[in-house]
Amino acid sequence: MENINGKVVAITGAGSGIGRATALALGRHGARVVLGGRGLDKIDAVAGEIRAAGGMAACRQMDVRDRASMQALVDHACATFGRLDVLVANAGVGPLSTLDDLREADWNDMVDVNFKGVLNGIGAALPVFRRQDAGHFVTVVSTAGLRVVPGMAVYAATKNAVRTLLEGLRQEAGPSLRVTGVSPGYVRTAFGDAMPDGPMRDAAIRTMEAIAISPEAVARAICFAIAQPDDVDIGDIVIRPTAQG
| Residue 49: predicted pLDDT | 97
What is the C-alpha to C-alpha distance for residues 114 and 31, in angstroms, rounded to an integer? 25
Instruction: Choose among 184, 166, 177: nearest CA to 220.
Output: 184
pLDDT in tens, the chain (245 residues): 789 999 999 999 999 999 999 999 999 999 999 999 999 999 999 999 999 999 999 999 999 999 999 999 999 999 999 999 999 999 999 999 999 999 999 999 999 999 999 999 999 999 999 999 999 999 999 999 899 999 999 999 999 999 999 999 999 999 999 999 999 999 998 877 777 878 888 888 888 889 999 999 999 999 999 999 999 999 999 999 999 98
pLDDT of residue 191: 78
Any residues with CB less than 8 A from the CB of 146 and at least 6 apart, and which? 183, 238
Three-state DSSP class for 87?
strand
Amino acid 199: pLDDT: 83
Q: Which CATH class is domain 2-239?
A: alpha beta
Active site residues: 155
Question: Residue 16: its pLDDT value, please?
Answer: 96
Which are the contacts of 156, defined by CB distance < 8 A and separation ≥ 6? 142, 144, 145, 148
214 DSSP 8-state letter:
P
DSSP 116: I
Q: What is the DSSP letter of 206?
A: H
Q: Please, which residues bridge with residue 182 across strands? A: 140, 237
For 47, residues 6+ apart whose C-beta sits below 8 A from its C-beta are 23, 33, 35, 57, 58, 59
CB 191 within 8 A of CB 213: no
Kindly list the domain boundaries of the chain, sorted by start residue: 2-239
pTM value? Answer: 0.95
Q: Up-side HSE of residue 102: CA atoms within 13 Å toward CB?
A: 0
- The sheet carrying 56-61 orders its strands as 56-61, 32-37, 8-11, 86-89, 135-140, 177-184, 236-239
